[in-house]
Structure 1
């Protein structure tokens, strides 16, 4: 058992839209990611996702609305709901999702990451 310092972990990488695994519990991965720009529209048919904003402001676009998530807030996107994260400036997020979750869900793109680094 070791504690995790989020600032230290975020300091280990600079690329955007490339989640890093920092923990695992009950079949779930705890991931950190830096986001900037627009992601792809996608959904996860079998998994819910939790986005916790550590630094910055994240806009989560849905087909019928946009939800703004500020630092120290989180949003759970239910399985099957199409969404697109957008970050006008760099945002640091912590994600909780099943280990099987692919970052782009049902949308294959150049942003799809099939193998994630553990840091």
Structure 2
């Protein structure tokens, strides 16, 4: 068994971007991300991704132009294959749950696809 203090972990991070695995659970992992600014456009062909914001605001942009902004203790599941990018609005701390070793495919910009979770 492992116990860790997520609050203490995030307070020790001083850089503009850190994303690290805190724990492995079965075939999944729990990641702690602390960052400012934006992450690249990408998708995960083999894993859904759950974002849970601990502090700050996290904007998630989707390929079809849709946006979702999560604030403290809000979460969203991005289905596998959905092209997205995350943008921290100021310093943001979030937890991410995804498949252990999930593949990440980067792209230069949003392709013309509609995320399954936000179809009109």
Tell me which interval the TM-score lies in, with the shorter structure as reference length: 0.7 to 0.9
TM-score (norm: length of structure 2) = 0.81
User: Aligned Cα RMSD in Å?
Assistant: 1.7
Equivalent residue runs for 1:94-113 within 5 Å: 94-102=95-103, 105-107=104-106
TM-score (norm: length of structure 1) = 0.81
- Structure 1: 5+ residue runs without aligned partners? 110-119
Larger Rg: 2
Query: Does structure 2 retain, via aligned residues, the 8 Å contact 1:16–1:33?
Result: no
- Structure 2: 5+ residue runs without aligned partners? 109-120
Three-state SS of the structure 2 residue aligned to 1:19 is strand
Q: Matched residue pairs, number?
A: 107
For residues 97 and 35 of structure 1, what CA distance do their matches in structure 2 show?
A: 18
Q: Which has the higher strand share?
A: 2
Deviation by residue 1:58-92 (Cα, 9 ceiling, x = unmatched): 00000220001110011111000000101120100
Match of 1:33 in 2: 33
